[in-house]
Amino acid sequence: MIRIHGTPKSRAFRCIWAAEEAGQPYEVVPTGFGPGIKSPAHLRVNPNGKIPAMEDGALVLFESLAINLHIAAKAGAPLMPAGDDASRALQWTLWAATEAEPAAMQWAYNTYIRPPEERDPGQAAAGAAGLNARLDVLEGQLGANPWLLGEAFTIADCNLGGVLYGAWANKFDFGGHTRVKAWLERCFNRPAALAARALRDAA
pLDDT tier for residue 34 given thresholds of 50, 70 and 90: confident
Q: Does the pLDDT of residue 103 top 90, yes or no? A: yes
Ramachandran quadrant class, 51 (left: phi over 0; alpha: psi -120 to 50; beta: rest):
beta
Q: What pLDDT is recorded for position 35?
A: 86
pLDDT tier for residue 167 given thresholds of 50, 70 and 90: very high
Q: In the chain, where does the domain assigned CATH 3.40.30.10 lie?
A: 2-77+194-202
Residue type, 77: A
pTM (2 decimals)?
0.97
Length of the chain: 203
Residue 80 φ/ψ, nearest 5 degrees: -115, 100
- For 182-188, which contacts have Cβ atoms below 8 Å and span 24 or more sequence positions? 183/138, 183/142, 183/146, 183/147, 183/148, 183/157, 186/146, 186/147, 187/153, 187/157, 187/158, 187/161, 188/161
- Fold classification of 84-190 is Glutathione S-transferase Yfyf (Class Pi); Chain A, domain 2 (1.20.1050)
Q: In the chain, where does the domain assigned CATH 1.20.1050.10 lie?
A: 84-190
pLDDT tier for residue 10 given thresholds of 50, 70 and 90: very high
Cβ(40)–Cβ(109) below 8 Å: no
CATH hierarchy code of domain 2-77+194-202: 3.40.30.10
Of 190, 199, 130, 133, the residue nearest 157 (C-alpha): 190
Instruction: Report the DSSP beta bridge partners of residue 54.
Output: 4, 61
Q: What pLDDT is recorded for position 202?
A: 94
Q: Around Cβ 108, how many Cβ atoms within 10 Å?
A: 19
Encode pLDDT of 179-198 as tens digits: 999 999 999 999 999 999 99
Strands (E), the chain: 2-6, 26-30, 53-56, 59-62
